[in-house]
Structure 1
Amino acid sequence: MKRSTIPVVYGLLIAVGLIVYFLLLSLIGVQTNPIFSLGNGVIVGVGLYYALRNYKKEKGVNFEYQKGFMAGLLTGFNATILFTIFFAVYVTHLNTDFLPMMLENWSSHYHVGVGIVVFVAAIMGFATTFVLTLSFMQLFKDSWNTKKGKKSTAIEA
């Protein structure tokens, strides 16, 4: 059975979208403003939607909820890992002033290093992926509110 390339291709496209968006924000100097993180959610959401839609088209009548859910998670996780790698390189090598600029907006008595910021960025990406995949799979799953679905559940009971 042929493996789908959708999680890799769309994961890469989402990561590129996130990187371009982040670099555009840094060009205008607003990359440290947390409100612009909402744009990340929009980019991931659009990418996941199209990935799941195309995955369902690819599988046709053989589309299963569990496999679609895994395709969505893999797509988002691929994007998150790629963006996190970029973000770690950006913070440590390309713009070493980013972290102090970002943290001056936060009143904290704790020492926050690069590792924790990169870790939090990854966790945010994974959480966004999980929630959006759960949400979008409600659109793509087959409904049980059909005569066929009611008959199959009545027989099983």
Structure 2
Amino acid sequence: MEQSKSAIKYGIVIGSVLIGYFLIIRSLGLAEVYWLRLINGIILGYGIYYAIKKNKEYLNNHINYFDGIGLGIKSGLVATGIFVTFLAIYMYHIDTGFSERLMTKLGWNINNPEKILLVTIFMEGIASTVILSLTFMQLFKTSWNIEEK
């Protein structure tokens, strides 16, 4: 499996699950409960973990450290891009008052709350992606430790 195709495939799946989760909490009236976005990190983390794990299995349990990190980062970037694009469409065209309601709950009174939210979510997604990819590759890398006999 080529790494770019794999990253796009898993990124689309992760992004779709993030959108599905958002729509579920929105339908339950919980979209303005900002701490629920922590579950976004869990979804992103599981998706990156699964992408690296499946790629390692495909390569007969021999994955290059930097290729694994790259796969995780690319998958996370695709997922983050898809999710931020969806949120931009949602905030600008579907529920135009969403960002203002959320900012009011946070106690912020700012202009262009949509832009602030989109940039914040994008930065959180990138930071989480890099940290999770580096962390998971510690689990998947081949150890160079010498075993005692």
TM-score, structure 1 normalization: 0.87
28-37 or 60-69, which moves further after superposition? 60-69
Match of 2:67 in 1: 67
Match of 2:144 in 1: 144
* Runs of 5+ unmatched residues, structure 1: 148-157
Letter in 2 for 1:20: G
Matched positions, count: 146
Tell me the secondary structure at the aligned position of residue 87 of structure 2.
helix
CA distance in structure 2 between the aligned counterparts of 1:77 and 1:113, rounded to whole angstroms: 23
* Runs of 5+ unmatched residues, structure 2: none
> Is residue 107 of structure 2 the alignment partner of residue 107 of structure 1?
yes
Residue pairs, 1:3-152, within 5 angstroms: 3-4=2-3, 5-60=5-60, 62-147=62-147
Across the aligned residues of Structure 1 and Structure 2, the Cα RMSD in angstroms comes to 1.5
Does the CA-based 8 Å contact 2:100-2:113 persist in structure 1? no
Letter in 2 for 1:3: E
Cα gap change, 1:123 to 1:65, in 2 (>3 Å): same
Letter in 1 for 2:104: E
CA distance in structure 1 between the aligned counterparts of 2:37 and 2:91, rounded to whole angstroms: 16
Aligned-pair CA distance for 1:112 = 4.2
Which of structures 1 and 2 has the bigger CA Rg?
1
**CA-to-partner distance for each residue in 1:15-51, whole Å, 9 max, x for gaps?**
0000000000100111111121111011111111110
Tell me the secondary structure at the aligned position of residue 60 of structure 2.
helix
**CA-to-partner distance for each residue in 1:100-146, whole Å, 9 max, x for gaps?**
11011122354343222111111111111111111101100011113
Does the CA-based 8 Å contact 2:11-2:77 persist in structure 1? yes
Letter in 2 for 1:102: L
CA distance in structure 1 between the aligned counterparts of 2:61 and 2:135, rounded to whole angstroms: 21
Match of 1:154 in 2: none
